[in-house]
């Protein structure tokens, strides 16, 4: 069965990087904002959501993560937060929002691939 992954990041270069990195795991789609991701999730819920924390204008990645984990329709989806905020308190806030994993930018594509594979297998 093909795994489906949704990448949410406001930076197009990073969306491309993550898509290229995770392509080996399955079908990777993308969204530039939480609002765009919400629209995509309404159609179908993927296996893994790779979510940036600071998404510019609009709802933040943390609030979006909390919202998805509180919603029975999306609760089963794995969420990996991916952020350039790398302080311990940032990671703690991410985990408190219900994330399954928190990865700090910049990251090694190989590490991202391993972490994503781990979440999809778990």
Binding residues vs other proteins (CB under 8 A): 10-14, 16-17, 20-21, 32, 54, 56-58, 83-87, 104-110
Asked if residues 78 and 48 have their Cβ atoms less than 8 Å apart, the reply is yes
Q: Is 58 helix (H, G, I), strand (E, B) or coil?
A: coil
Structure token pair of residue 55: 């998404």
69 or 105: whose CB is closer to other proteins?
105
For the bound state, the minimum distance from the C-beta of residue 32 to other proteins, rounded and expressed in Å, comes to: 7
- Cα separation, 91 vs 34, whole angstroms: 19
58 or 118: whose CB is closer to other proteins?
58
11 or 74: whose CB is closer to other proteins?
11
Asked if residues 105 and 9 have their Cβ atoms less than 8 Å apart, the reply is no
Structure token pair of residue 4: 């489906």
For the bound state, the minimum distance from the C-beta of residue 53 to other proteins, rounded and expressed in Å, comes to: 9
1 or 13: whose CB is closer to other proteins?
13
For the bound state, the minimum distance from the C-beta of residue 81 to other proteins, rounded and expressed in Å, comes to: 14
* Residue 16: partners with Cβ closer than 8 Å, 6 or more residues away: none
For the bound state, the minimum distance from the C-beta of residue 10 to other proteins, rounded and expressed in Å, comes to: 5
């Amino acid at each position: 069965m093909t795994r489906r992954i949704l990448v949410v990041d406001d930076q197009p270069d990073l969306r491309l990087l993550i898509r290229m990195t995770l392509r080996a795991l399955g079908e990777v789609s993308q969204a530039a904002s939480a609002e765009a991701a919400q629209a995509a999730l309404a159609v179908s819920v993927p296996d893994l959501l790779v979510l940036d924390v600071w998404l510019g204008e609009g709802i933040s990645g943390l609030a979006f993560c909390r919202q998805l984990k509180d919603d029975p329709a999306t609760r089963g989806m794995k969420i990996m937060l991916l952020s350039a905020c790398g302080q311990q308190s940032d990671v703690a806030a991410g985990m408190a929002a219900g994330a399954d994993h928190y990865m700090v930018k910049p990251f090694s594509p190989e590490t991202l691939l391993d972490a994503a594979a781990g979440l999809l297998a778990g």
